Amino acid sequence: MLLQPIVNFINILAKKGVKNAIISPGSRNAPLTIALVRHPDIETKSISDERSAAFIALGMAQNLKEPVAICCTSGSAAYNYAPAVAEAFFQEIPLIILTADRPKEWIHQNDGQTIYQTDIFGKHVKKSFEIGADYSHSDAVWQIERTINDAVNLANIEPCGPVHINIPLREPFYPAENEEISFNVNSRVIEIVRSERTLSKESWHQLLTQFQDYDNILIAGGQSDKNDNLASVLNKLQDEFQIVCIGDSISNMGFEAISKHDLFLKVDAENLKPDLLITYGKSFISKGLKTFLRKNKAIEHWHLQIGDHLIDTFQSVTKIIPLQPIDFFTKLYEDLDFEQFRNGEEERNESFKKEWFNLEQKANIYLERFFQNEPQNFNEFFAIKYLMDALPANCQLHLANSMSVRYANYIGVNPKKNIEVFANRGTSGIDGCVSTAVGAALSTDKLVFLLVGDVAFFYDRNGLWNRYLPKNLRIILLNNHGGGIFRMIDGPSKQPELNDYFETLQTMNAQNTALDAEVEYLKVINYSELINQSVLFLDIEGKSKILEIETNSKINTEVFKEFKTNF
Amino acid sequence: MLLQPIVNFINILAKKGVKNAIISPGSRNAPLTIALVRHPDIETKSISDERSAAFIALGMAQNLKEPVAICCTSGSAAYNYAPAVAEAFFQEIPLIILTADRPKEWIHQNDGQTIYQTDIFGKHVKKSFEIGADYSHSDAVWQIERTINDAVNLANIEPCGPVHINIPLREPFYPAENEEISFNVNSRVIEIVRSERTLSKESWHQLLTQFQDYDNILIAGGQSDKNDNLASVLNKLQDEFQIVCIGDSISNMGFEAISKHDLFLKVDAENLKPDLLITYGKSFISKGLKTFLRKNKAIEHWHLQIGDHLIDTFQSVTKIIPLQPIDFFTKLYEDLDFEQFRNGEEERNESFKKEWFNLEQKANIYLERFFQNEPQNFNEFFAIKYLMDALPANCQLHLANSMSVRYANYIGVNPKKNIEVFANRGTSGIDGCVSTAVGAALSTDKLVFLLVGDVAFFYDRNGLWNRYLPKNLRIILLNNHGGGIFRMIDGPSKQPELNDYFETLQTMNAQNTALDAEVEYLKVINYSELINQSVLFLDIEGKSKILEIETNSKINTEVFKEFKTNF
């Protein structure tokens, strides 16, 4: 085979631990496709719409915590990857992006499927590589072998992220009929030996001393993977040291931390202002929390982050601590615990924590009361509450952007159920929510629920256009026939353009989409139907299922406003 | 209103002649949306999927021969424009891309819907501008006013193309309730006075002298807008001066030029080799023609192009002539005609033209004979021939990429029917074929036919997800349940991966998509149904229509192979 260096390239990809690849059909990428499909250690799937393909890979990589490869042909195909690549970059999810290209001399020569693919993803990849089209010189072969090693290493170094390799290829693309390709070759693997960052004794001592100067300490977790060890140590810090922990649903705190802040946190609540703020994780959903912390700046704000790019979401960072949250908080707890053992129980001021938890409790009571009866008029907020209460333990919950993620953040996820929460909050786009959930469901045996509005659902319905839809996918579709969020916001709701240009009425239901995708379809238009149908919907048996909840946007807005106003 | 500079910006856009805008809903772009919608001289439409929105705008701009604006919110929304932007760039179609952005200080700070939007389209725009987020200084206002003038001017300067303006915006985004915004302001328009390039007398004399040195002259037209004046003068050059004109279906030659070359042109046909090759227009479809001209290089190759980027599709260019085809060929004809009048009829060698047209005639006879009877087994090639013969005069025909455009090129478009042919051959992607045809249909009263395969159709079915589908849209859907092209090519058809990774079997029919889009749906599975249903399908009355032609991929391949082999 003429393209043996490409076969080696894929062989190294596999040896470096990449076990999954999503391929979009094309001719230019045929050598890559053939090597990927035939490699015994790589599982491949074919997805025609590259936009969806990349989000499916993202959903898989997010779940597997390992890089997934995507592979497409030359031309605009690569650009269809871009929305998912940007999401992966900001959400720090490893992807190996393999774009076939025509040899460079063909760019902009009016000869099909050729665009400027070099660096096509701009700053939204950790690095963009390009190999040569000719492999006759041994240095060129060395570059190919080195590049794939470099790319997978980089994707895996924290902060993880997408890495791009542009691969110009000359014809012929195909082996001869019945020609076998051989992976049994000397493919050199270059490994980066795992290392860890630690703080010097002096730095740590200084931190600890400063820490003990403060009474009012708030630990805020941004979007994070679920981590039981971290939950356990944070819980102990909160329990034993009067520290307050706060997190959105996507923070996956996993214990009884503050989570109803969207409901009770007012910008002028100075009694809740922390002296020391410690943050970790990626983005926060709650606009209320962000505004509060920006206005009520802590005296010191320590942010735990591994990457070099300075992130200052609350405009108050004073120290970047380049440690993993689990390492930092474990050491912090151990040292505080030892101090306590040595010096006896110190009297920490309890009032800060009480203020926060009194409000949390009040919010919880309000929430239970608000939802305790059936709604007078059926609406999506009540439906979501019902379903979130009914979610089985140990499932995954994907929250689509726009209203879904906000509703869910008001209601909160029961920390006792061990539910993992995901959302594309890297760019907060609606463009790949369905595909991401499909990717997740393809890479776990757990039930994967997606809470999604109609605009995000239909936008990405190509996520359901494939032969791989797994049984464990459950889509909760909130169909209010438009972008309901715009009716919720004061600005657009008062403009004459609301219907046509913000909410953008759309008339579709998901029934036909479900038929096409060959998934089970359930639809409810009132509360009792919801209760009945959700039994079937939540059942682990059967195929993928869509539960379409059709509501009226005006009623939804009234109910949600009432909810927020009456607290 | 705080955002008066943005209102002025849109006012200048309108004064510069931009009459249409496709808006995708969002909050960050609300000031732009409101100004666009309320402007009395701009017609706006709301399309939720930005990928589709941009292709719809492209279809409109292509038809209207004037820039169309697209406007989206911040974040990954802009990236969904990218496939259409690349297509517009290489197809030289003017688009004004308005991407709302968050103020720059928020980039990569883990705060939603913020990506690196500066220069996001890379080399696929003529220019990318960015304005400031603060308009308090008069110089900032000057920049805004200047930038939109510059952008529209650039988009319109040939070669036309997409121009991007990134627009960071601060809150508030919305005027107060019932607040009127005023376009009645001093919005300065900067016009570029239209100029034309001409050749010096000496240059022209030299060209003409050289021209007359050659006997075997071939004029080859790449993708071009339909132009009756150009057709007329090329026809006269061919008729009176033994010059051969050749063009693919997308060249829109509009007279009896060579068009069946895909069938008869063999790479070793040295008798067809031109001494002087003159080319104009953009890309060529025919791989046969490209290979032939690359192997049989003309002694001189003149390429007419206005742009500065050297394009050398046939690897043989010796002179770039920076003139419009109509100007060059008109002057050429006039001068040749005058010479003939002065010097009497010159004996030009007829054999070159005869060689070409003998083969063209042979191909035409073969085509008629091949299709004269009903097919033994129903197949898409026969169906396309039937429908292309049945197309009404003065319609538009959009050819989707992959097999559709190739089939149509074999069959040819009847030059007497005044049919305009379009195809996204800038990047040759399948990603926006449906949306482009929708955009075309929205901007003409003519019937707009789209010939499209099932993969391209479902890939871009969001093109039908809007409230504007025009009556004059007619979609001919060739459903062979996969990427039939891969079965046609020798390479992939012999690989074990054919079914799953190249052809990529997909089971859907368009019935449900048609129901959702509320368009008429007709389906045929044999030749007599095709004949019956096409009457209804071709009827100008009624709604948008889809005619789904379901065929078997293996039979299609056999028929097409037989067609090519037996010539």
Query: What DSSP state is assigned to residue B502?
Result: I
CB of B357 less than 8 A from some CB of A: no
Distance CA A351, CA A356 (A): 9
Query: Residue A476: CB partners within 8 Å, gap ≥ 6?
Result: A384, A387, A449, A450, A451, A452, A537, A547, A549
* Helix/strand/coil for B221: strand
Residues A17-43 as b/e (b if ≥16 CB within 10 A, e otherwise) read: ebbbbbbbbbbbbbbbbbbbbbbeebe
Counted residue by residue, chain A has a size of: 567
In order of their start, the domains of chain A are 4-168 (3.40.50.970), 201-358 (3.40.50.1220), 373-566 (3.40.50.970)
Cα dist. B304→B202, B275, B322 in Å?
A: 18, 17, 6
Alpha helices in B92-197 (DSSP H): 138-156
pLDDT in tens, B352-409: 999 999 999 999 999 999 999 999 999 999 999 999 999 999 999 999 999 999 999 9
Amino acid code (one letter) for A308: D
Distance CA B161, CA B92 (A): 4
Residue A551 CB: number of other CB atoms within 10 A?
23
* Residue where the block lists tokens 């929510």: A433
Cα dist. A305→A121, A302, A311, A326, A537 in Å?
A: 24, 10, 8, 12, 40
Give the closest residue to B121 by CA, choosing from B148, B153, B87, B154.
B87
Give the closest residue to B70 by CA, choosing from B40, B38, B42, B98.
B98
For A80, which of B431, B461, B462 is closest by C-beta distance? B431
For B501, which of A33, A427, A494 is closest by C-beta distance? A33
Substitution target in B38, B110, B486 with the highest count of A β-carbons within 10 Å is: B110
From chain A residues 277-316, the ones with a CB under 8 A of any chain B CB are 282-284, 290, 309, 311-313
What element of type H or E holds B549? Answer: strand B545-550
pLDDT in tens, B293-315: 999 999 999 999 999 999 999 99
Handedness of CA A67, A73, A75, A76 (dihedral sign): negative
Distance CA A503, CA A483 (A): 4
Give chain B positions within 8 Å (CB) of A507: 467, 518
Closest chain A residue by Cα to residue B492? A174
Cα B425 versus chain centre, distance: 6
Answer whether 0.95 is exceeded by the pTM.
yes
Tens digit of pLDDT at every position of chain A (567 positions):
568 999 999 999 999 999 999 999 999 999 999 999 999 999 999 999 999 999 999 999 999 999 999 999 999 999 999 999 999 999 999 999 999 999 999 999 999 889 999 999 999 999 999 999 998 899 999 999 999 999 999 999 999 999 999 999 999 999 888 788 889 778 899 999 988 889 999 999 999 999 999 999 999 999 999 999 999 999 999 999 999 999 999 999 999 999 999 999 999 999 999 999 999 999 999 999 999 999 999 999 999 999 999 999 999 999 999 999 999 999 999 999 998 888 887 778 899 999 999 999 999 999 999 999 999 999 999 999 999 999 999 999 999 999 999 999 999 999 999 999 999 999 999 999 999 999 999 999 999 999 999 999 999 999 999 999 999 999 999 999 998 899 998 889 989 999 999 988 999 999 999 999 999 999 999 999 999 999 999 999 999 999 999 999 999 999 999 999 999
CB of B364 less than 8 A from some CB of A: no
> B86 vs A115: CB contact, 8 Å cut-off?
yes
Tokens of B350: 């007829």
What element of type H or E holds A33? Answer: helix A30-38
Distance CA B528, CA B375 (A): 11
- Name the pLDDT band for B112 (thresholds 50, 70, 90): confident
CB of B390 less than 8 A from some CB of A: no
> B462 vs A467: CB contact, 8 Å cut-off?
no
Q: First vs last Cα of chain B: how many Å apart? A: 70
Give chain B positions within 8 Å (CB) of A27: 486, 489, 491-492, 502
Q: First vs last Cα of chain A: how many Å apart? A: 70
Distance from CA of B281 to the nearest CA of A (A): 10
Distance CA B14, CA B21 (A): 10
Query: Residue B87: CB partners within 8 Å, gap ≥ 6?
Result: A76, B55, B58, B93, B424, B426, B427, B429, B432
What element of type H or E holds A359? Answer: helix A351-370
Distance CA A203, CA B52 (A): 54
A311-318, Cβ contacts within 8 angstroms, sequence gap of 24 or more: A311/B108, A311/B109, A311/B110, A312/B109, A313/A222, A313/A279, A313/A283, A313/A284, A313/B109, A313/B110, A313/B111, A314/A277, A314/A279, A314/A290, A316/A277
From chain A residues 104-123, the ones with a CB under 8 A of any chain B CB are 108-116, 119-120, 122-123
Cα dist. A448→A191, A394, A458, A546 in Å?
A: 34, 10, 19, 12
Amino acid code (one letter) for B59: G
Query: Residue B540: CB partners within 8 Å, gap ≥ 6?
Result: B392, B447, B472
Tokens of A545: 């299922």
Distance CA B148, CA B159 (A): 19
How many alpha carbons lie under 13 Å from residue A404 in its C-beta half-sphere?
34
Question: C-alpha angle with apex A439: A433 to A441, nearest 5 degrees?
Answer: 105
Determine the pLDDT at residue B81: 98
CB of A499 less than 8 A from some CB of B: no
> What is the pLDDT averaged over residues B43-58?
98
Distance CA A95, CA A68 (A): 5
> A290 vs B111: CB contact, 8 Å cut-off?
yes
Cα A522 versus chain centre, distance: 27
Query: Residue B309: CB partners within 8 Å, gap ≥ 6?
Result: A108
- Name the pLDDT band for B1 (thresholds 50, 70, 90): low
- Give all strands (DSSP E) within A370-472, no chain letters: 396-399, 420-423, 448-453
Distance CA A424, CA B428 (A): 31
Distance CA A88, CA A292 (A): 28
Please name every residue paired with A162 in a beta bridge, in sequence order, or none if there are none.
A95
> What is the pLDDT averaged over residues B165-175?
94
Please name every residue paired with B228 in a beta bridge, in sequence order, or none if there are none.
none
Distance CA A439, CA A11 (A): 24
CB of B48 less than 8 A from some CB of A: yes
Determine the pLDDT at residue B179: 83
From chain A residues 26-45, the ones with a CB under 8 A of any chain B CB are 27, 30, 33-34, 37-38, 44
Query: What DSSP state is assigned to residue B501?
Result: I
Determine the pLDDT at residue A1: 55
- Note whether B540 and B565 are within 8 A (CB): no
How many alpha carbons lie under 13 Å from residue B300 in its C-beta half-sphere?
18
Give chain B positions within 8 Å (CB) of A54: none
Distance CA B316, CA B319 (A): 9
Amino acid code (one letter) for B101: D
- Note whether B298 and B274 are within 8 A (CB): yes
Counted residue by residue, chain B has a size of: 567
Distance CA A309, CA A317 (A): 13
Determine the pLDDT at residue A349: 85
> B76 vs A114: CB contact, 8 Å cut-off?
no
Distance CA A289, CA A264 (A): 10
Q: Phi/psi at B143 (nearest 5 deg)?
A: -65, -45
CB of B360 less than 8 A from some CB of A: no
pLDDT in tens, B177-214: 888 888 977 889 999 998 888 999 999 999 999 999 99
* Mean of pLDDT over chain B: 96
Determine the pLDDT at residue B15: 97
Tokens of B386: 């039937």
For B122, which of A44, A122, A222 is closest by C-beta distance? A122
- Name the pLDDT band for B2 (thresholds 50, 70, 90): low
Burial of B444 (0-12, 13-18, 19+ CB in 10 A): middle
> A516 vs B508: CB contact, 8 Å cut-off?
yes
Tokens of A214: 């403060």
Distance CA B56, CA B468 (A): 11
Give the closest residue to A65 by CA, choosing from A126, A17, A103.
A17
Distance CA B524, CA B553 (A): 15
From chain B residues 178-237, the ones with a CB under 8 A of any chain A CB are 222
- Note whether B115 and B152 are within 8 A (CB): no
